[in-house]
Amino acid sequence: MSRRSTVITRRDFVRVGSGLAAAGLLGAHRPGSVAAAEPARSRVVLVRAQDALDAAGAPDGASLHRMLNEAVTALLETPSPSDAWKRLIRPADVVGIKTNVWRNLATPPGLEEAIRAEVVGAGVAPGEVAVDDRGVLDNPVFKRATAFINVRPMRTHHWAGLGTCLKNMIMFVPRPADYHGDACASLGAIWKLPELEGKVRLNILVMLTPQFHGVGPHSFSPEFVWPYKGLIVGIDPVAVDATGARIIEARRREHFGEERPISPPPHHIQVADTRYGLGVSDPQRIDLVRLGFMEGALI
Amino acid sequence: MIQVPIKEAVVVASGLLLLVLLLATCGDRGGDVASLRPLVPAQAGGWQAVDGGELYDRESIFSYIDGHAEVYLAYGMKGCLARRYTGPSGEADIALDVFEMASPADAYGVASYDRDGEPVAIGHDGRFRYGWLSFWKGAFFVSVTAESESAAARDAVLELGRSVAALITDDGATPPLVGELPPDGLDAGSVRFLHSQQILNTHLWLGEGEVLGLAPDTSAALAHYLRDGWSAHLLLVDYPDRGRAERAAAAIAGRLLAGPAGGGPALGQDGRWHGVQQRGGRLVVVIGAANDELAAALLAEASAPIGGG
């Protein structure tokens, strides 16, 4: 006798589309289920909080933890955050939290800790959870991981146009530069690798102080970040990134006072949809759930 | 006559040879970024160097510059000297990066990658913006970045930049291909020199794929033109042989013109005029001209001299 999994896996998502996957796996009753020919939709949560950054502009760990839990609860439409986390992670899972350590705009440690705490709260043994970025290929937990949570800040990027959740997995290949051609169009292929496919359970695009333009060898100036105080959370990395990209494009228009397209165009997001089937890039097919203050949300 | 055993003579001669080579290297301050390290100032304004500077090669540069190293590698980077300076209380650090490129043309190319900013008279094409000074001189591209802006930091950045520029004795010259861009209507701030499709993509997106076959042995100059209020981009590429130029012409014509190269400008689906000409190893491409007259004029003017192989 087979049991139906209540955990959302990448394979489930890819097969039926994230919105449908969530509906089916969570047992939601949707009378007259969507016809097979209807394009899949994805659900993405944008959560913002005024206290996400403290007076000095540093991320506030407690606020981030609260935002994260509000987001996953809304994303999976569960009664509580713990229910949502239990939908995402099994107690038997080995979990890699793929972070980003870029010196100028790293994933906030407070957010990494919040994710770790929730994963452990979902029943995973503390020794079966690891946070890593550049050492993922050698990290023993990552090497035997059954689930990943992908978390990184949004920023502009010289080769990909944008440093996105899709791009964050580039450290899973030994020669990342092999994927830099054609504005990193083939990043989606990395998500098809056996060590990743079907295992990325949640994507979190950190929009606390997103970077909308880069200058110099280190691609950073404080001039080009702003306190957006948000997180974009979803199961579908393409929908998460597409939503973040719209915000960056809007901020560039606002800042430069003219159309200043992201260069090179971050078409790896669309290609991840059309060529690799990793999710939904069309904003018309992304159901955006908004939580928290929305002044200056730009979308 | 003093008799010296052969073995000792060989040792002495070898030592002298090494000394001569070392002195020659140290004396050629335009030729080796490592030789600049002991000469770079330990302070600028109120900022003090935290160490003697780190050297990076084509492999280790990835550990220093995340996500941007390929820009320098695309211009044949040989090495990089990086040195950090700490400032007075309340001031952010300053980072000095001196990149030794394959040639002065490549140093020019790196500088042309980002031409924003206020012109400053330091090295060639000196620019200052958002706390960042950049310039090129000889085969070197120099970057001095204040991690947070202030008046004092700006002064220190400019002082450090002037000091490093003075250490580089070779001047270098602008790539000849850049000099072949027609001058009428040329936006000097838009001129880029490059060897790679990835670099081109960051300035002008020609669609998916590496259609032009750009490589380290090809040189390209890209510029924006504005004549009588009408705009266009012009791309010149020199290939080492005619065959590669022909293949690139056919490929880009197929994309822009939906037809063969060599005719006059054609109206694209984007409502702009495009044109492709190839003579010998030289490819001339007009992209996105506002009208056919401008496209035709740029094609004619740029096709007049024949360069490349």
Among A190, A185, A168, A196, smallest CA distance to A265 is for: A185
Any idea which residue has 């016809």 for tokens?
A: A35
pLDDT digits (tens, 9 = 90+) for B252-269: 999 998 777 777 899 988
**In this predicted model, which residue has the larger pLDDT, A33 or B290?**
B290
| pLDDT at B67 (0 to 100) | 72
pLDDT digits (tens, 9 = 90+) for A223-264: 999 999 999 999 999 999 999 999 999 999 999 999 999 988
| pLDDT at A23 (0 to 100) | 33
pLDDT digits (tens, 9 = 90+) for A75-104: 999 999 999 999 999 999 999 999 999 989
Among A103, A87, A71, smallest CA distance to A147 is for: A87
- Inform me whether the pLDDT recorded for A196 exceeds 80: yes
**In this predicted model, which residue has the larger pLDDT, B140 or B23?**
B140
Q: Do B202 and A185 touch (CB under 8 A)?
A: no
Two tokens at A230? 């948000």
Distance from the Cα of residue A197 to its chain's centroid: 15
| pLDDT at B305 (0 to 100) | 54
- Contact criterion met (CB below 8 Å) for B199 and B113: yes
| pLDDT at A36 (0 to 100) | 53
Percent of the residues in chain B that have a pLDDT greater than 90, as a whole number? 76
Two tokens at A249? 């494009």
Return d(Cα A265, Cα A256) in angstroms, integer: 17
**In this predicted model, which residue has the larger pLDDT, A14 or A57?**
A57
Confidence of residue B8 (pLDDT cuts 50, 70, 90): low
Interface confidence (ipTM) of the complex: 0.75
Return d(Cα B309, Cα A50) in angstroms, integer: 61
**In this predicted model, which residue has the larger pLDDT, B31 or A146?**
A146
Q: Is A275 on the interface with B (CB under 8 A)?
A: no
A-B CB pairs within 8 A amount to 71
Q: Is B132 on the interface with A (CB under 8 A)?
A: yes
Return d(Cα B85, Cα B20) in angstroms, integer: 33
* Least trusted range by pLDDT, from A27-41, A280-294, B133-147, B174-188: A27-41
Confidence of residue B7 (pLDDT cuts 50, 70, 90): low
pTM: 0.83
| pLDDT at A80 (0 to 100) | 98
Q: Do B130 and A221 touch (CB under 8 A)?
A: yes
Q: Is B90 on the interface with A (CB under 8 A)?
A: no
Two tokens at A229? 């105080």
| pLDDT at B68 (0 to 100) | 81
- Inform me whether the pLDDT recorded for A12 exceeds 70: no
Find residue A287's DSSP bridge partners: A43
Q: Is A102 on the interface with B (CB under 8 A)?
A: yes
Q: Is B18 on the interface with A (CB under 8 A)?
A: no
What single DSSP character describes residue B92?
P
**Where does chain A have alpha helices with state H?**
10-16, 18-25, 61-76, 81-88, 109-121, 140-143, 165-168, 181-184, 187-190, 237-256, 268-274
| pLDDT at A37 (0 to 100) | 63
In a mutational test of the B interface, the residue from A167, A180, A186, A215 whose CB has the highest number of chain B CBs within 10 Å is A215
